[in-house]
Amino acid sequence: MKHLLSTEDLSLADATRILDTAEEMAAVGEREVKKLPALRGRTVVNLFFEDSTRTRISFEAAAKRLSADVINFAAKGSSVSKGESLKDTAQTLAAMGADAVVIRHWASGAPHRLAATDWIDAAVINAGDGTHEHPTQALLDAFTMRRHWSRLAGTPSAGADLAGMRVAIAGDVLHSRVARSNVWLLRTLGAEVTLVAPPTLLPIGVEKWPCTVSYDLDETLCKGVDAIMMLRVQGERMNASFFPTTREYSRRWGLDDNRLRALDGLGLKDTIIMHPGPMNRGLEISAAAADSPRSTVLAQVRNGVSIRMAALYLLLSGDTREPAAAPTAAAPTAAAPTAAHSKESH
Amino acid sequence: MAELHQDNSGAYLIRGAAILGGAPEDLLIRDGVIAGRGRDLAADGATVIEAAGLVALPGMVDIHTHLREPGREDAETVETGTRAAALGGYTAVHAMANSTPVADTAGVVEQVLTLGRAAGWVDVRPVGAVTVGLAGEQLAELGAMADSRARVRVFSDDGICVHDPVLMRRALEYVKAFDGVVAQHAQEPRLTAGAQMNEGEVSAVLGLTGWPAVAEESIIARDVLLAQHVGSRLHVCHVSTAGSVEIVRWAKSRGVNVTAEVTPHHLWLTDELVRSYDPVYKVNPPLRTDADVQALRAALADGTIDVVGTDHAPHPSEHKECEWAQAAMGMTGLETALSVVQHTMIETGLMGWADFARVTSTAPAAIGRLEDQGRPLETGEPANVILVDPAARWTVDPSKMATMGRNSPFAGRELPGKVVATFFRGHPTVLAGKLNTPYRWLPENTEMPGAAPAGRN
């Protein structure tokens, strides 16, 4: 694995390896000194063409816990806003010796361009591109689901998949990179996915996706779900006639208090409620649902750092690159050495 | 026929070429015309070109070329674009109107005509804009362009759809006064706001805003009905969907005076290529599905689609070396069109070389009302002739092309067929597969030869 661009082409072996490595990274996060020397001397650039403080600080925390040097490059107010091209920006970062570029871009496919061209040789991690993919978000979601699913089964999560888990993803699928990345990854991990959305917010061609599609949230809940993920709905969609009003949207497709109560009534006591954030409380999710014990919203944020540590670690100390500081030598726990060994499986 | 300037070399005997792919015959070219056709013609001092194994065809006529000059000489000039045309087997191109300034006045179309004459590689026939500045609000002075030295007959806002139905109706009606045709770029603007690629399975996965087939088809449906209603001539640019083919077929069966065009790239490439996010595959209309490709091929073979038009659209590299959404739309085409049509239509058995001549020369010349192009290869006809080696194979290398555009979607592919020679008005602009010398117009020769004076037809 040289880049992490999408979950569509992520194999089960690679996905499991990232999730398992993240379990080990999570252990680091629980220690008093939350730091590994694994990427000492490596430079990670967070190249953000779109504002996203949450994702950026998550990657920043991940890179710093691995002792990498972090450069934050926000396109706003930089040479990019003066018309510099992606090519020139990439070549500049290459000249500065970036080992990994974490790119967030409003244009679908921008990370693929960086990876496919000779503009820069660094490892590219897609931190969300347009309405295409957001692979680390899907991985952290899967990580959260896997922990939940394994706990219910009473088995360790390392090495596990999501076979048999029923996941509903509800909201603006059309414009959601999170939904796309989740559909592919959850398919790979064996979960059963149902997309729930108004027909206007589903892409033409969705019928070919490896999932079920429903226009009816209540019916989907009635059939039983183990995780329900609510997608953020942008208020401006209303003006483009995707739905009549935010209130109608909330009534038909929101996880409101009635539906939250219905989960209990349906006997779905172990169903978790997920949201990639930031939430529109009162629109796609009610405050009670967001704050309920079922909610994994904060666990998702926490797990995001572990997943991003795993991704950076695997990409920057993979076979194609000279290892920096071998984690075996320095790590006081067994976490990192295991990760180092597991990379040999590909 | 015009008298030839002394630079235009005299006589050529093409020996043993398969004329339109038929039995080998000789063609004698002298003084700008085909002076003889038959077996074992005497050279009589003419330069002999051994053409065994080569196919002789009428010079190709492109109904749809972007030469970029005036205004974007960093992308292409009339000189470089027409060199590419000659190398690709063309003897005439229609230069689209979306230059800067827009070709919406007699002055600009005459400038383009003059640049074409100065270059001398092919006939450059300016297309006039339908509306002022391509803005879709007010008719440009179509009559002035028709009456100008450029004798414009094809009018198009290409790149932008004349979407206002009343304006389209008026344009269709008005050009009847000088036997003009409106060439429509069929793209409903509201249905394609922000559109990046064909809407379907692939766009759903890639998260690129979809460009639905219905946005093209609904405009074509409206326009053929308008053309029927007002009794006008309509040309549909770059048809790209199976549904559009059905509508054109229906319209022709109803007697509507409509012609349709397909690009070489739409005869081959599909939206699967967009999965690379490489903007070399970004084009308007977008690459569609394989079902569309097959429908377009069948339609070109059965005559529903009349012509192949390249939509040659060179762009500077910085407009393609970027994010997909930022990239310009368009592909080069002049130097690959023949090969791509041979690959997709002839080697598939859908057409022969006589059909090829129809769709690349006769029919586009008729649409543009070019009297001395697209003519039969017979004695007395203007010598716009090409020789093609159908057995040749070559690998596309955009850096070696004459066009300034490096945006060929066929880069790296091996293609069949190579233009060996191009005779433009009897003068070899291409010999042995390489550029020779341009045709030299007499400085005082400002009238198109063989053309009726403007305003009389």
pLDDT in tens, B105-127: 999 999 999 999 999 999 999 99
List where CATH 3.40.50.1370 sits in chain A.
12-133+301-345, 135-299
Contacts of B276 in chain A (CB under 8 A): 112, 116
Q: Per CATH, the architecture of A12-133+301-345 is what? A: 3-Layer(aba) Sandwich (3.40)
Q: Which of B123, B271, B311, B372 is catalytic?
A: B311
The closest alpha carbon to A284, from A221, A206, A211, A229, belongs to A229
Distance CA B341, CA B361 (A): 13
- Section B257-267 average pLDDT: 98
Query: Are A108 and B203 within 8 A, CB to CB?
Result: no
Single-letter residue type at B416: P
| Nearest residue, CB atoms, A204 vs list B199, B207, B277 | B199
Q: Of B8 and B67, which is predicted with more confidence?
A: B67
**Mutate which of B277, B317, B321, B324 to disrupt the A interface (most A C-beta within 10 Å)?**
B277
Is A207 exposed, middle or buried (CB count within 10 Å of its CB: 0-12, 13-18, 19+)? exposed
Q: In what order do the strands lie in the sheet with B258-262?
A: B154-155, B181-184, B234-236, B258-262, B307-308
Nearest to A85 among B210, B322, B324 (CB): B322
* A77 has a pLDDT exceeding 90: no
Question: What is the amino acid identity at position B250?
Answer: W
Tens digits of residue pLDDT in A125-156: 999 999 999 999 999 999 999 999 999 999 99
Phi, psi of B440 (to 5 degrees): -110, 110
Reply yes or no on whether the pLDDT at A333 is more than 80. Answer: no
Q: Which domains does chain B have, with CATH numbers?
A: 12-56+380-435 (2.30.40.10), 71-368 (3.20.20.140)
DSSP SS3 for A120: coil
Average pLDDT on A214-231 reads 97
Dihedral-angle region of residue B134 (phi above 0 means left; psi in -120 to 50 means alpha; beta otherwise): left
User: Looking at chain A from residue 247 to 276, which residues have their Cβ under 8 Å from any Cβ of chain B?
Assistant: none
Tokens of A276: 């990639």
Q: How confident is the model at residue B15 (pLDDT cuts 50, 70, 90)?
A: very high
pLDDT in tens, B187-230: 999 999 999 999 999 999 999 999 999 999 999 999 999 999 99
**Window 263-282 of B, Cβ < 8 Å to A:** 276-278
- Mark yes or no for CB contact A206/B199 under 8 Å: no
Mutating which of B190, B197, B203, B206 best tests the A interface, going by the most A Cβ atoms within 10 A? B206
Q: Among partner residues A105, A177, A203, which is closest to B204 by beta-carbon distance?
A: A203
Task: Kindly report the nearest CA distance between residue B297 and chain A, in angstroms.
Answer: 25
Distance between CA atoms of B240 and B261, rounded to whole angstroms? 9
Task: List CB contacts of A329: < 8 A, sequence separation 6 or more.
Answer: none
Question: Of the ranges B4-13, B296-305, B358-367, which one carries the lowest mean pLDDT score?
Answer: B4-13
Give the DSSP H or E segment for B215.
helix B213-230
Contact A107 B199 (CB under 8 A): no
Which one of B192, B323, B324, B326 would you mutate to disrupt binding with A, by most A Cβ within 10 Å of its Cβ? B323
- Is residue B2's pLDDT more than 60? no
Q: Is the pLDDT of residue B81 over 50?
A: yes
Q: Which of B276, B318, B323 sits opposite A110 (nearest CB)?
A: B323
ipTM: 0.88
One DSSP character per residue, A261-327 reads HHHHHTT-TT-EEE--S---BTTTB-HHHHHSTTB-HHHHHHHHHHHHHHHHHHHHTSTTS--SS-H
Mean pLDDT of A41-48: 96
Report chain A's mean pLDDT, rounded to a whole number. Answer: 90
Cα dist from B453 to B94, B118, B173, whole Å: 20, 22, 22
Neighbours of A31 (CB within 10 A): 12
Inform me whether the pLDDT recorded for B442 exceeds 50. Answer: yes
Cα A153 to the chain's mean position, in Å?
Answer: 24
A213 inside 8 A of chain B by CB: no
Q: What is the pTM of this model?
A: 0.92
Q: H helices within chain A, ranges in order? A: 12-29, 53-65, 86-95, 110-116, 135-153, 177-189, 217-222, 246-253, 257-265, 287-291, 297-316, 327-330, 335-342
CB distance from A110 to chain B under 8 Å? Answer: yes
Instruction: Check whether the bond before A37 is cis (ω within 30° of 0).
Output: no
Sheet holding A272-274, edge to edge: A212-214, A192-196, A166-170, A227-230, A272-274
B205 lies within 8 A of chain A by CB: yes
Partner-chain contact B207 A129, CB within 8 Å: yes
Q: Under 8 Å CB-to-CB from A264, ≥6 apart: which residues?
A: none
Q: Which residues contact B27 (CB under 8 A, 6 or more apart)?
A: B13, B14, B17, B19, B34, B36, B37, B41, B56, B377, B385
Query: What is the CATH topology of the domain spanning A135-299?
Result: Rossmann fold (3.40.50)
Per-residue DSSP letters for B426-437?
Answer: TEEEEETTEE--
Q: Nearest-CA neighbor of A129 among A111, A142, A143, A141?
A: A111
Q: Is the peptide bond before B285 cis (omega within 30 degrees of 0)?
A: yes
Decide: A90 and A111 in contact? Cβ < 8 Å. no
Question: In this complex, do A112 and B277 lie within 8 Å of one another by their Cβ atoms?
Answer: yes
**Which residues of chain A lie closer than 8 angstroms to B321, CB-CB?**
85, 87, 117
pLDDT band at residue A237 under the 50/70/90 scheme: confident
Question: Which of B201, B202, B323 lies closest to A113 in CB terms?
Answer: B323
| B202, B209, B318 member nearest A85 (Cβ) | B318
Helix axis angle for A12-29 and A53-65, nearest 10°, is: 80
Whole-angstrom distance, CA of residue B240 vs CA of residue A21 = 48
**Annotation marks residue B311 as catalytic:** yes
Q: Does A177 touch chain B (CB under 8 A)?
A: yes
Q: Measured between alpha carbons, how far is residue B336 from residues B299, B329, B360 in Å? A: 21, 18, 13
